[in-house]
Chain A
Amino acid sequence: MLLIACPWCGQRDESEFTCGGEAHIQRPPDPDALSDPEWADYLFMRANPKGRHRERWCHTHGCGRWFNVERHTVTHDVLSVYRMGEAPPDDRDGDPS
């Protein structure tokens, strides 16, 4: 089970959280201007990396807030946690991949 540090509540078990998938996917500013493949890319296509992955999590059974987690998809290490709207930390020391 993962231990995730909610930015508001601190370290909690993974069972309190819900994973919301890939983070930093921007809604296109003008959807009408997009072609169908571009819209499909926004809606459905995902990076699905083997290694570092930035994703959204929600503290469903706690404060109910959304935040970002950077996690490794092979070791499952939680590398960093940062709030919605914050830039992802650029600290890349100790790359586990």
Chain B
Amino acid sequence: MPDYSILIEHWDLYMQGFLHTIKSSVLALIGSLLIGTVMAIFRIAPVRPLNWIGAAYVEFIRNIPLILIVFVFFVGLPALGIRLDSFTAGTLGLTVYTAAFIAEVIRAGILSVPKGQMEAARSSGLTYLQAMWHVILPQAIKIVIPPMGNQFINLVKNSSVLGVIAGLDLMYFGDLISSETFVTFDVYIFVAMFYLVLTIPLSLGVGALERRLARSR
């Protein structure tokens, strides 16, 4: 049995970390969905230079460790005179990193929509972006929900990278409590429990959404 007095005595710190982890995850989720969708469309759109930008983004970012991308924002930008607090730097790094994976997931979803859908939409006079928005993406989204769920769960767990740069998240406060109390194992068990409080409902939610969309076709 873990020592619950640690949890009770440091409840405030755990909660601070928990809320920051939620905040960072939600911001990174929204940001990476936006950037990811744009990059996916860049890779597919019938415009060569955009294809290159999209491909370069994905290949460059997803092949670098997350921690290094966070360092770019935390250490690299200040060298150029742009100073960010550690929470912002960490969340930006997380966003940029996750977007590369989401771009690939969305691209696969778009490509799995039959070609005739784009042809029908374009031949009715819709622009490429209108066809994408009204016809292709709604169909692609349904296809990509399961792999997207994986990305979101990874995102929440990856937000622990903020701990490394004092980003005020769960991991950071876990370290703090541990160094104050000299307790290691029990402190981190509670950290893990807080992550599970986030990720398990997320998992179940994605599953439920998948089943609902499967019914509505």
**Are A and B part of the same complex?**
no
